[in-house]
Structure 1
Amino acid sequence: MRFDGTRDYVSTDDLTMAVNAAITLERPLLVKGEPGTGKTELARQVSASLGVPMIEWSIKSTTRAQQGLYEYDAVSRLRDSQLGDERVNDVRNYIRKGKLWQAFEAEGRVVLLIDEIDKADIEFPNDLLQELDRMEFFVYETCETVKAKQRPIVIITSNNEKELPDAFLRRCFFHYIKFPDAETLRSIVEVHFPGIKESLLTTALTQFYELREQPGLKKRPSTSEVLDWLKLLLAEDLGPEDLKREGTNLLPKLHGALLKNEQDVHLFERLAFMARRQGR
């Protein structure tokens, strides 16, 4: 079982190698990178490339590790017992299987995506150490051990909002998705907008990289944002001549797709103001 990329996702050589290394080692693949660099989409494309189903566990700040295993609904069982419901005689009726349990009991191999693990509490990764390492867990209510029929391909994403524990990192194969260089970004754009005019693409990407590399920028635009911007440019039927920034206006057309906070917009407005003063 080997990942070779797909026609809908540009996977660099080092990313492809990381995916296959994790599969070979049977270790979770921990993928970090800026938001919008395709970490979540990677799991979907691995699933599509290998022809296996994907189970997605999206992590929130309130998510607990136990929810990935199972949840026991004691309140419903108590209510049913008061109503004389015969379902109370089997505790399994009140156990809700989590994403890990679903992945473990799957008949074939699956891709298990644990998305944005850094959103959860700092203890969350440690609470999953044994389960991800041994691929089994114990259900106390039924006194049974759930073991993976086939070891899932586990892909874990992080936006680096929190440091992950060393014990957890030791059990993962790590890869950081760097922001794509101009050539790779062109390939990505071609996948999403085949046949885009070279003159428009060159002008747009030049402006994009100039904006992204501006010192003092609070949030640099990501791959997904440049794709949104290009989609708008094409929808408005704008050409390279329409993207020319007149005079001291440093903001690109439709900059709201690229700049997502007022501090960064004000930064370019201040730079334009300073340029006007120097031009007097």
Structure 2
Amino acid sequence: MNHEKLFRSTGSYIAGTGLIESVNVAVALEKPLLIKGEPGTGKTVLAQAVAEALGMDLIVWNIKSTTRAQDGLYSYDTVKRLYDSQFGEAGVSDISRYIRLGKLGEAFSHENQVVLLIDEIDKADLEFPNDLLWELDRMEFYIPETGVTVRAKQRPVVIITSNAEKELPDAFLRRCIFHYIDFPDRELLEKIVRTHFPEVEDKLLGAAVSAFEEIRSIRNLRKKPGTSELLDWVNALQLGGISGEVLEKELPFPGVLLKKDEDLDALKKHRFL
């Protein structure tokens, strides 16, 4: 592998050995890296950390239920062209003026190699991943309106995240390097918190992580808190002047961790019992 392009944990992102290896293999093989894991395990932030570690720009394509593969390639603004023609604007015959590249097109056209994050691909319809196969394989696409083929000047590092809401097609999976991010264990959780809050008191950190793990162990939570909620909570505890001793007896600011009425009720019952 090119040691100049090796991913490692950064000052703001702590990655396990398996994840580091998966990122570096994907970069070396020039294949998309598909990341799965429950919400709050740092899937989206990973792309930012990879870009930082490799010294590359980051381009983010956020996927929604209405997103089409075409949206990532380019759009042709026919309405603006028609409007301009009605008002006698110069250059209406130049269709390229009305072509706007999507996020994939931006990544292909960038002078330098970039990291492209395709975030939450499973939100789109079932055909969306298959519709991207050609572009991700060939790193090019054709614009029939202008007769131009857009080819990647530098093959981007492609990171794709999924919350496993839908099964992805086998043909798509075969083209990816896959990694599942397990939820951090206690030791890693403490390292993550320390990375963001190096001055946090040991007793407060230990009590906060213990309470956090206790909450995650409650059965039938609709939305378990993730690492981002833990970080927000520790920050709130510090700002509120809450000590580790207090945290061992009560649970301040539960709304920072839990975002559903049913989950807050479940916490109350759990603590009461």
TM class, shorter-length: over 0.9
Distance 1:174 1:5 in 2: 19
Distance 1:134 1:208 in 2: 45
Counterpart selection for 1:19 from 19, 23, 29? 23
TM-score normalised to structure 1 length: 0.92
Distance 1:89 1:83 in 2: 13
Instruction: Report how many residues are paired.
Output: 269
Are the aligned partners of 2:30 and 2:157 in contact in 1 as well (CA < 8 Å)?
yes
1:47 matched to 2:19? no
Question: Structure 1: which 5+ runs fail to align?
Answer: 247-251, 276-280
Residue in structure 2 matched with residue 95 of structure 1 by the alignment: 99
Q: Which runs of 4+ in 1 moved over 6 A?
A: none
1:219 matched to 2:223? yes
Secondary structure of 2:92 counterpart: helix
Deviation of 1:188 after TM superposition, in Å, equals 0.4
RMSD: 1.3
Residue in structure 2 matched with residue 263 of structure 1 by the alignment: 262
Are the aligned partners of 2:218 and 2:270 in contact in 1 as well (CA < 8 Å)?
no
Counterpart selection for 1:82 from 86, 108, 127? 86
In structure 2, give the amino acid aligned to 1:224: S
Deviation of 1:137 after TM superposition, in Å, equals 0.6
Give the greater-gyration-radius structure (CA).
Answer: 1
1:253 matched to 2:252? yes
Secondary structure of 2:40 counterpart: coil
Secondary structure of 2:180 counterpart: strand
The residue correspondences of 1:142-221 to structure 2 (distance < 5 A) are: 142-221=146-225
Deviation of 1:168 after TM superposition, in Å, equals 1.0
Identity of aligned residues (%): 56
Secondary structure of 1:87 counterpart: coil
Higher alpha-carbon deviation: 209-218 or 47-56:
209-218
Deviation of 1:272 after TM superposition, in Å, equals 4.9
Secondary structure of 1:88 counterpart: coil
Residue in structure 1 matched with residue 7 of structure 2 by the alignment: 3
Distance 2:269 2:217 in 1: 16
Distance 2:147 2:8 in 1: 42
Secondary structure of 1:146 counterpart: strand
Residue in structure 2 matched with residue 249 of structure 1 by the alignment: none
Counterpart selection for 1:105 from 109, 130, 148? 109
